[in-house]
Copies of this chain bind each other. A is one copy, B any other.
Amino acid sequence: MAFQKVVVAGGGVLGSQIAFQSAYCGLDTTIWLRSEGSIGRTQPKIDQLVKDYHAQIDEMAEALKKSQEEGEPMPTGAWAMGIADPDNFDPDACHKKVDEATKNLCLELDMAKAVEDADVVVESMAEQEKAKIDFYKKLAPLMPAKTVLVTNSSSLLPSTFARYTGRPDRYLAMHFANHIWKNNIAEVMAQSKTSAASFDAVIGFAKKIRMVPLPVHKEKAGYLLNSMLIPFLFSAMDLYVNGISDPESIDTAWVRGTGSPNGPFQILDVVGLVTAYNIVQPYTKIPGFVAPYNFKGISAMLKKKIDAGETGVAAGKGFYDYSQK
């Protein structure tokens, strides 16, 4: 069952990217939005994506030309795998696909109409449990039997919602990363009731829209990436708050020791300290003698920096100062 008709519910940061990428890959794509006001906020995001994709294609054409002239491998940062493969790249064809994407894409306020023939509905609404449940309850009776429903939720588990969807066997998670045309991975995660057929269909859909599908066979908070990233960031903050060393030295140890482009405190500045603070809160309730890290100390340290307005790159200051740039 190859998906042809795609519906994205929610036209926020991620919803608009998922829908645009799907349309770029030639699929008939609808964004369902709840109000006229939402259209006014989503349309400019689409317009911006059109510009971003065109600019990215030009950049890739230039990087490829340069690397061919010099017989050098292309700098890895230059390429957006969501847009094209480097060894089979036709800039004109890609520009054309961007223009056609705008034709493949429509915005719709009527939920019944949006999903009436949907192969897949990608729920990418704000991260609020109650709002998602309300949405699923309304949506369930409107979808045809064939529709597979996926959630892009970063932190809520699909098992929380399966019973409201009217199709637990055709409900799972498909988790994208911001800037999906560059960070083209999709973590495809089953919950206990998900059927193998719908899991496989979503893996196929991920490939169809040029994502690298990462199968997650059992439900796991944090999927793959955050299941590793969060304890890693905790271990780094633990070194700092326990007075073992300072952020800069800890980052240097990681960067020099593993060849990674960024150390944990540089990553935290990008993620934002408010997000990090929210993530650590539930852990502060673990009794100290069992907790693998000094979560209370980590929480207090982040709180202090947040209170001082040092919330990360976006604020101009976090663990590092970005005001000079």
B217 to A253, Cβ gap below 8 A? Answer: no
* Residue A242 CB within 8 A of the other chain: yes
In A230-260, the 8 Å CB interface with B consists of 231-232, 234-236, 238-239, 242-246, 249-250, 252-254, 256-260
Dominant secondary structure of chain A at its interface with chain B: mixed
- Contact partner of A215 (CB less than 8 A), chosen from B184, B245, B290, is B245
* Residue A214 CB within 8 A of the other chain: yes
Q: Mark A265-308, 1 if CB is under 8 A from B, else 0.
A: 00100000000000000000000001010000000000000000
* Residue A155 CB within 8 A of the other chain: no
* Residue A15 CB within 8 A of the other chain: no
With contact pairs A253-B185, A292-B292 given, residues A229 and B258 touching in the complex (Cβ less than 8 Å): yes
* Residue A261 CB within 8 A of the other chain: yes
| Cα distance, A254 to B246, chains bound together (Å) | 25
B217 to A244, Cβ gap below 8 A? Answer: yes
B212 to A224, Cβ gap below 8 A? Answer: no
A70: B residues at CB distance < 8 A: 70
A232: B residues at CB distance < 8 A: 228, 231-232, 235
A187: B residues at CB distance < 8 A: 253
- Contact partner of A258 (CB less than 8 A), chosen from B215, B223, B257, B262, is B262
A239 to B256, Cβ gap below 8 A? Answer: no
Closest to A77 in B: B259
Q: How far is the CB of A192 from chain B (nearest CB, A)?
A: 13
B256 to A258, Cβ gap below 8 A? Answer: no
* Residue A93 CB within 8 A of the other chain: no
A243: B residues at CB distance < 8 A: 217-218
* Residue A225 CB within 8 A of the other chain: yes
Closest to A290 in B: B290
A218: B residues at CB distance < 8 A: 242-244
| Cα distance, A238 to B250, chains bound together (Å) | 24
Q: How far is the CB of A183 from chain B (nearest CB, A)?
A: 7
| Cα distance, A306 to B4, chains bound together (Å) | 47
A231: B residues at CB distance < 8 A: 231-232, 234-235, 292
Q: Which residues of A contact B (CB under 8 A)?
A: 70, 72, 177, 183-185, 187, 212, 214-218, 220, 223-225, 227-229, 231-232, 234-236, 238-239, 242-246, 249-250, 252-254, 256-262, 264, 267, 290, 292
Instruction: Report the 3 A-B pairs with minimum CB-CB distance, sorted nearest first.
Output: A224-B253, A225-B257, A260-B260
